[in-house]
Amino acid sequence: MNRTRLLASAGAMAVTACMAGAALAQDKPERAAATSLEEIVVTAQKRTESVQNVPLAVTAMSGHDLVKAGATNIEALQTMVPNLNLGQQLGVARIALRGVGLDNLSTGAEGSIAFHVNGVFVSRSASALSSFYDLDRAEVLRGPQGTLYGRNATGGSINLITRRPDSDFSGYLNATAGNYHRTAVEGAINIPLGEKLAARIAIQTNDRDGYGRNIVTGNDIDDARARSVRASFLYKPGENTELLVVGDYHRENDHANGYHYLGGAGFTAAGQPITPYGLAFGGVVAPSRRDIANEADPVNRREIWGVSADLKHMVDQWTFRSISAYHYTNYATAADLDSTSFQLAPILQSERAWQTSQEFQALYDTDRTHAILGAYYFHESIKGGIADPTNDIIFGGPGVLRQGYFAGGSLKTKAAALFGQVAYKATDRLSLTMGGRYSWERKSIVDLLQFDLTRPYVLGAPVIPQAVCAEDLPSVPGCKPQESWSSFTPRASLDFRLDPNTLLYASVSRGFKSGTYNLGGVQPAIAPETVTAYESGVKAEMFDRRLRANVAAFYYDYKNLQVGKVVGATLLLENAATAKIYGLELEMRARPAPPLEIGLTGSYLHARFDNYVSVDPSRPAGDGVTFDHGAPAFDNAGNTLPQAPNWTLSLYGEYSADLSVGVLTFRGDSSWTDKVYYTAFNRSDVAQKQRAKLNASVNFTTSDKTITVTAFVRNIMDKTYVSNAFVSSALVGFPINGFLEEPRTYGVTLGYSF
């Protein structure tokens, strides 16, 4: 599907919606409620309000919307949110909004997009894939959000809000069976425990065979074995006080997240291609991208759990809130760095993280003034590393697997912030918002780098580092194992209500992501990155709320980008100079007739480096420029930022037919994404070309809404697309390793509600 045809179809759909809406506007007023779009209520600004009244670029999906769209994981959001790009590497979510994202996967790496569950910031990107069930809604805020949220973020925030307990005894159970022998169960039960206390227990299981196999062992890979449970308790001792306590647990134990071989990327200084060493030594790769050829199967083990307590107390126009949380993440993965059947360099990655946070808020609400004042404290301790046992045949040895490479250690973070925002309604139409945030952060490390070709590999053998950066230990010259950073980031916005259904707004804000360390690099700390963001937009509802159209335009001045790359055996992190980002986003939904709903989401993004010169180890000849120390390098000025496609477009249509026994609903979705680069060097062999996807479903719901039956098919054309890729280490001859999106899947879901 080419872009011109898709854009033409989108335009036709939009025109059709407007014309149909205009015709329906002549209907009697009493029909408006039956044909109007669902109002979505959000808490993006820490108060309950319609998403159409929020002067921010925010996309909100109700739990009902997510179920209709078949969104079963966070990756499904990228077809519903403009300029959102999602991928993963070794089970770690790579989230980018408007070109601002995560480009470092070393131990302790933290993304530029804040991820929240029930108001609690979750630091580890490996945890972002575990909470997508029994949701009340999902909110995605684009742009810096430091004046509203405890944890600062340069790119935006993803907020998942789970369903709260209430006073009714109710519940549901959904069971799914599909291809690849998939079986999945999701359910919840709501239990009132007296007049003041209620509980809700939710579960999710997901099991399936692999999307591919390891042709060496014959076993499935990219399978799933996951279990999740969440318990929520809501206590209301009085009319003005409530306490919400939520505990959750998630685990996985399968053979997912292995590397797929995507080709060779290395060249000599003379420009001759390098054969990846696993192939040069007699190994093979799988003929199909879905399969792998590794001497051992991939391993994915993770355990994630946490508990939070959200206490609210209201006094007149004031609401005082305390959010306390603890979160634990432990994961271990095993893959194959050379991606061949030759035992050259298996890769083992593990991370354990303990996180505590405390946030206090004071909110003030009147007819004309909405204010929030907050204080936030965050502490995290992380231990882990990446190990690459190395076959000494690479260096002319007899072919013994040695202890090889290890990069890791421990990282501790302490952060504190004061933040606040005041929105004042100067007139019935005009409002002014001012806010600011002061952030302070300190990181300390024990940074270890080992490259040991003397000891045979033994799992669990102690690390004997060749380079260390740590307090109270002999360290490399220039090592500074502790750094602190601070920043003040303001925000100002103006919004004007053109009429009761049309909101215009403009804002300027700054975002700050603290400096950090790249464990294993044994290098100085990386400087903070900052974004100055300018945004304007319009939110409108027309024809008795049968047509909704939101448009946002933005411009970012992005400085000191934290960019990662593989150098030799080490993943290094460096500050790219600057980037300029601007774009346009459109979200439309229409209900031109009571049984029909259609929607369109589109975005244009221009995300380019201004001046970024860097060495590409896999192409030592460079492109004619030299780095600071004289090495041949590449001038990346004008290159597109990773995970920042120029164009994206998504469409859906839904038609419901009333039957005597219930409602039958047909739904179709399509999405198209422009070319995505996964490296700052904009290599076409480390990218995904333009891609299109089609999904469809049929749902039947009984008249009493107790029983549902849904048949679905996703990725109808069964295309194999790359969700992330990178050029691997010089140790193994620069193969390209990647991860794939799901193939065609189909199945049936039976649901029962009471």
Distance CA 663, CA 670 (A): 23
299 close to 216: Cβ distance less than 8 angstroms: no
Distance CA(6)–CA(4), nearest Å, equals 5
How would residue 574 be classed by pLDDT, with cut points 50, 70 and 90? confident
Query: To the nearest 5 percent, what fractions of the chain are helix, strand and coil?
Result: 10, 55, 35
Q: Which has more pLDDT, 702 or 72? A: 702
What span, in angstroms and rounded, lies between the C-alpha atoms of 746 and 741?
A: 15
Are 162 and 140 a contacting pair, CB within 8 Å? Answer: no
Q: What is the token pair recorded at 749? A: 């879901």
Integer Cα distance of 175 and 187 in angstroms: 9
Full 3-state SS string of 239-256: CCEEEEEEEEEEEEEECC
Cα–Cα distance measured from residue 750 to residue 185, given in angstroms and rounded to the nearest whole number: 10
**711-742 pLDDT per residue, tens:** 999 999 999 999 999 999 899 999 999 999 99
Element (H, E) at 35: helix 32-35
Confidence of residue 568 (pLDDT cuts 50, 70, 90): low
Cα 302 from Cα 424, distance rounded (Å): 46
pLDDT at residue 284 tops 80: yes
pLDDT score, position 1: 42
Query: What is the Cα–Cα distance from 576 to 112, expressed in whole angstroms?
Result: 15
The string of pLDDT tens digits covering residues 332-358 is 999 999 999 999 999 999 999 999 999
Q: What pTM does this model have?
A: 0.91
Summarised one tens digit per residue, pLDDT across range 669-689 is 999 999 999 999 999 999 999
Average pLDDT over residues 373-386: 95
Closest listed residue to residue 449, CA positions, set 485, 413, 473: 473
Q: What is the mean pLDDT of residues 89-111?
A: 80
- Per-residue tokens: 451: 């490259």
Q: Which residue has the tokens 């990155």?
A: 529
User: Average pLDDT over the chain, rounded to whole?
Assistant: 90
Average pLDDT over residues 685-701: 96
Flag whether pLDDT at 3 surpasses 80. Answer: no
Domains, the chain, with CATH or none: 3-753 (2.40.170.20)
Residues in the chain: 754
Q: Are 569 and 388 in contact (CB under 8 A)?
A: yes
Separation of alpha carbons 353 and 378, rounded Å: 13
In the chain, what is the straight-line distance between the N-terminal and C-terminal CA atoms, in Å?
A: 43
Check whether 570 has a pLDDT greater than 80.
no
Convert the pLDDT of each residue in 244-274 to its tens digit: 999 999 999 999 999 999 999 999 999 999 9
When mean pLDDT is compared across 21-35, 147-161, 443-457, the lowest value belongs to 21-35
Residue with token string 């010259």: 477
Q: Where are the beta strands (DSSP E) in 98-134?
A: 113-117, 120-121
Provide the pairing of β-strand 529-542 with 570-575: unpaired
Within 98-155, strands assigned E span: 113-117, 120-121, 135-142
Q: Is the per-residue pLDDT at 28 higher than 80?
A: no
Q: Are 730 and 569 in contact (CB under 8 A)?
A: yes
